[in-house]
Amino acid sequence: MTFSQQPQQAADDSVEAVVTDFLIRNPQFLRQHPDLLAQLDIPHPCGAAVSLLEYQARVLRERNRQLQQRLDELLAVARDNDRLAERIHHLTLELISAPHLEAVLFVLKDELRRNFDCDAIVIRLLGSGDGPDWVAPEAPELELFAPLLKAPRPLCGRLTREQLHFLFGDSAVAIGSTALVPLFDGRLLGLLAIGSYWPERFQPGMGTVFLRQLGAVAGRALQRYLPAAP
């Protein structure tokens, strides 16, 4: 060994001594840090090292099991998204084929009940038409939904008693959670309310991509049969 190599060798020996001493004084260290253990390259001589290898193998098998479980979950989500996309496609075709306003409203309500497991569907169109689906733009009840009408994007969660009563009438007491979807196509046409008896069905933090698509498709279908904006 040359003179220049001696300080490096001494430093390496010192580090090994510190690591060895630490592991001796902390025998549970590798058990407490399975991620580190999974990265170690341990030889397989006969003797006590076999148990460590077995433990490392168990760590790797558990990691593999967790990864497989995550993959299964992602595949399940992908299959659900595929089925949802098919139902949206079918709904879109039905709305496009609807020959008049009443048909659009019927298709929208019927499809949501039958193919999307919705317990209650209410539509409120802004205007002076006849029937329960219409509400005057100046109606004071619309103040209950002022934030939604000013920034037309879907909202999910639990509504106030006044909001529920305005939308669902006598059925309001059974509604546990609601998704509110603006019907928008260049201008705000109305409001779609989807009610569920299950309180956890619609939550504030849930994704709203499908609901935005639903509002856009329904808005485009309705726009064909509604009076032009003044």
Give residue-wise pLDDT tens across range 87-104.
889 999 999 999 999 999
| 55 inside domain | no
191 — alpha (psi -120 to 50), left (phi > 0) or beta? beta
| 74 inside domain | no
Domain count, the chain: 1
| 137 inside domain | yes
Compute the average pLDDT of residues 152-178.
94
In degrees, rounded to 5, the angle at the alpha carbon of residue 219 between the alpha carbons of residues 206 and 82 is: 50
Which residue bears the tokens 């103040």? Answer: 143
**How far is CA 172 from each of CA 126, 165, 168, 199, rounded to the nearest angstrom?**
21, 5, 5, 13
Query: Would you tell me how many other CB atoms lie within 10 Å of the CB of residue 223?
Result: 17
| 230 inside domain | no
Task: Return the pLDDT at 17.
Answer: 81
| 215 inside domain | yes
Most confident among 20-24, 61-65, 122-126 (mean pLDDT): 122-126
Provide the CATH number for the domain around residue 183: 3.30.450.40
| 75 inside domain | no
Residue % of the chain over a pLDDT of 90: 47
Task: Return the pLDDT at 15.
Answer: 77
| 5 inside domain | no
| 112 inside domain | yes
Structure tokens that stand for 228 in this block: 């032009």
**Mean pLDDT value across the chain:** 85
Domain span at 166: 99-223
The model's pTM: 0.68
Compute the average pLDDT of residues 186-211.
92
Structure tokens that stand for 53 in this block: 């290898």
When pLDDT is cut at 50, 70 and 90, the band that residue 3 belongs to is very low
